[in-house]
């Protein structure tokens, strides 16, 4: 297992290089430059030139990119053009918020999704099954900025139970994680239902039923265990994508997270900040993918014998 993890991690380094190089290239061809955007309404060629000189923007790409990689390897992500703060510090400040939001959202989506999916799988084709599947589709297809607004209006303005936005403690976490969690709960529910139904169709379940086990026992002892690996895979992948920053939710609920940082950075062409945010997101996704594979392997003894194939 250790060898597997190490190989994958080593294999991820080029991935990170790819991601950052792509960003550099994208920003290179993007029109406009950070200096202009810093001056906004006051931009004039003279001041902009002076600012640009301080940013080393005149250097060619092949000079700037290795410089970035070299510094990043030393833990130095540079200084934000726009804000003058060290990027690493800004990311360290924002990351816990994103992680907290993502974890709460995942909790919502996993619990709600798994429960709903199991419920639906118990009686395929029944009313409850159709209801759950219909609701999950609705959840999946509602734009996030919409559900966010409705939740805010109902829970904060109408009922006055929860704060509208901001990020100053646990109760500020509830609405954004509900917004984010509901959308992915639909996916988890559909997945859990499908996976359980497949497991319930299997021979060993028939054997278990034939042995005279109750339906509940069949479900908990056999089906759930076997339905778990695929659900785990997708859950971990979901976690990865959420950890890399839920931009819209963070914007609407004013969560000072990595997603906001990346929007801010791209709007201002703040390359160091954008690189930092993208690098963080990429690391999160890679770790999430790896965790997914390891979890699946741990849950499934058949895989443990042959780690190499997972590469």
Partner 1 sequence: MRGRAGKGLRNVLCAVAAILLFCAAQVPAQVPAQVRTGGELRLAYPHDPMTADVQKNTEYFLLGLNVFDRLVECAPGPPDQAGATAIAPGLAASWEISPDGLVYTFHLRPGVRFHDGSPLTAADVVYTIDRMCDPATKALNTAIFEYVAGARQRLEGQAAATSGVAALDALTVEIRLVRPFAPFLALLASPQAGIYSEKFTKAAGERFGLTPETTCGTGPFKLARYVHNSDQRLVANPDYFRGPPLLDAIGVRVSADPETLRMLFEAGEIDLFDMDFAPTQLDYFEASPKWRGRLVRAARVGLYYLAINNAKKPFNDERVRRALQLSIDRRLILDKMFSGQGALVGGVMAPGLACFGPRAPDLAFDPALARKLLAEAGYPDGAEAELVQVAGWPAAWADLAQVIAAQAAKGGFHVKIRPFDEAAFLSTRMYGDAPLYFQVWSADYNDPDNFFHTFFSASGTKVRSINLADAGALDAVETARSITDPEARCRAYRELERRIVEQDAAWLPLFSLDHVFVLGPRVESFAAPWNGWSDMSHFATGVGRPGPP
Partner 2 sequence: MTDETPILPAEGVRGVQLRVAKVFLRLLAVNPPVGFQGAKPLGPSGPYARALAALARDRVATAAALAVAAVCLGALCAPWISPYDPNAVDLALRNLAPGWSHWCGADALGRDVLTRILYGLRVSLIAGILPSLGAMILGALLGVAAGYLEGAAGFCIMRLCDAAMAFPSLLLAMGLMYALGSGLSNICLAIVLTCWTAAARVARARTLSLKQRDFVLAAKAMGLPARAVALRHILPNCLPALVALWGVGIPEAILFEAGLSFLGLGAQPPDTSLGLMAAEGKRYLFSAPWISIAPGAAILGLTLAFNFLGDGLSEALDPKSAERP
Structure tokens at 197: 């139904």
Phi, psi of 125 (to 5 degrees): 85, -10
Distance CA 37, CA 39 (A): 5
Contact 236, 295 (CB under 8 A): yes
Q: How far is the CB of 33 from partner 2 (least distance, A)?
A: 12
Buried b (16+ CB within 10 A) or exposed e, 49-87: eebeeebebeeeeeebbeebeeebeeeebbbbbbbeebb
Q: How far is the CB of 169 from partner 2 (least distance, A)?
A: 27
Choice from 43, 83, 202, 224 touching partner 2 (CB under 8 A): 202
Which residue, 55 or 271, is less far from partner 2 as judged by CB?
A: 271
Contact 114, 231 (CB under 8 A): yes
Query: Is position 144 an interface residue for partner 2 (rule: CB under 8 A)?
Result: yes
Which residue, 13 or 149, is less far from partner 1 as judged by CB?
A: 149
DSSP code for 86: B
Query: Is position 14 an interface residue for partner 2 (rule: CB under 8 A)?
Result: yes
Query: Is position 18 an interface residue for partner 2 (rule: CB under 8 A)?
Result: yes
Q: How far is the CB of 67 from partner 1 (least distance, A)?
A: 19
Structure tokens at 35: 């200096």
Q: Which positions ≥6 away from 55 have C-beta within 8 Å?
A: 34, 35, 81
Phi, psi of 113 (to 5 degrees): -65, -45
Q: Which range in 78-86, 98-106, 232-240, 298-306 contacts partner 1 by CB under 8 A?
A: 78-86
Which is nearest to 223 in space by CA: 122, 92, 311? 122
Query: Is position 152 an interface residue for partner 2 (rule: CB under 8 A)?
Result: no
Query: Is position 254 an interface residue for partner 1 (rule: CB under 8 A)?
Result: yes
Query: Is position 179 an interface residue for partner 1 (rule: CB under 8 A)?
Result: no
DSSP code for 202: S
Q: How far is the CB of 170 from partner 2 (least distance, A)?
A: 26
Query: Is position 36 an interface residue for partner 2 (rule: CB under 8 A)?
Result: no
Binding site for partner 1 (CB under 8 A): 30-33, 36-45, 47-48, 50-51, 54, 82-85, 90, 93-94, 149, 152-153, 156-157, 160, 163-168, 251-254, 256, 260-261, 264, 267, 269
């Amino acid at each position: 297992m250790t060898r597997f993890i190490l190989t994958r991690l080593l294999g991820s380094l080029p991935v990170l290089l790819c991601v950052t190089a792509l960003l550099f290239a994208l920003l290179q061809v993007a029109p406009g430059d950070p200096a202009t955007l810093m001056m906004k309404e006051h931009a004039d060629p003279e001041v902009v030139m002076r600012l640009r000189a301080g940013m080393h923007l005149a250097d060619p790409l092949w000079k700037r990119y290795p410089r970035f990689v070299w510094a990043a390897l030393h833990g130095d992500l540079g200084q934000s053009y726009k804000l003058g703060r060290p990027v690493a510090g800004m990311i360290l400040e924002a990351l816990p918020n994103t992680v907290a939001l993502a974890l709460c959202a995942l909790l919502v989506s996993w619990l709600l999704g798994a429960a709903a999916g199991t419920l639906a799988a118990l009686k395929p084709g029944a009313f409850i099954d159709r209801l759950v599947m219909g609701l999950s589709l609705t959840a999946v297809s509602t734009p996030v900025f919409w559900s966010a607004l409705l939740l805010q209006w109902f829970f904060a303005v109408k009922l006055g139970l929860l704060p509208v936005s901001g990020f100053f403690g646990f109760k500020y976490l509830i609405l954004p994680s509900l917004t984010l969690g509901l959308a992915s709960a639909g996916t988890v529910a559909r997945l859990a239902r499908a996976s359980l139904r497949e497991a319930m169709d299997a021979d060993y379940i028939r054997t278990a039923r034939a042995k005279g086990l109750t339906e509940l026992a069949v479900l908990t002892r056999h089906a759930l265990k076997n339905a778990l690996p695929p659900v785990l895979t997708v859950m971990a992948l979901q976690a990865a994508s959420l950890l890399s920053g839920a931009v819209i939710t963070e914007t609407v609920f004013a969560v000072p997270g990595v997603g906001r940082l990346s929007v801010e950075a791209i709007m201002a062409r703040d390359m160091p900040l954008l690189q930092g945010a993208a690098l963080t997101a990429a690391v999160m996704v890679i770790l999430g993918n790896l965790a997914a594979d390891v979890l699946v392997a741990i849950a499934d003894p058949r895989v443990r014998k042959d780690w190499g194939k997972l590469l």
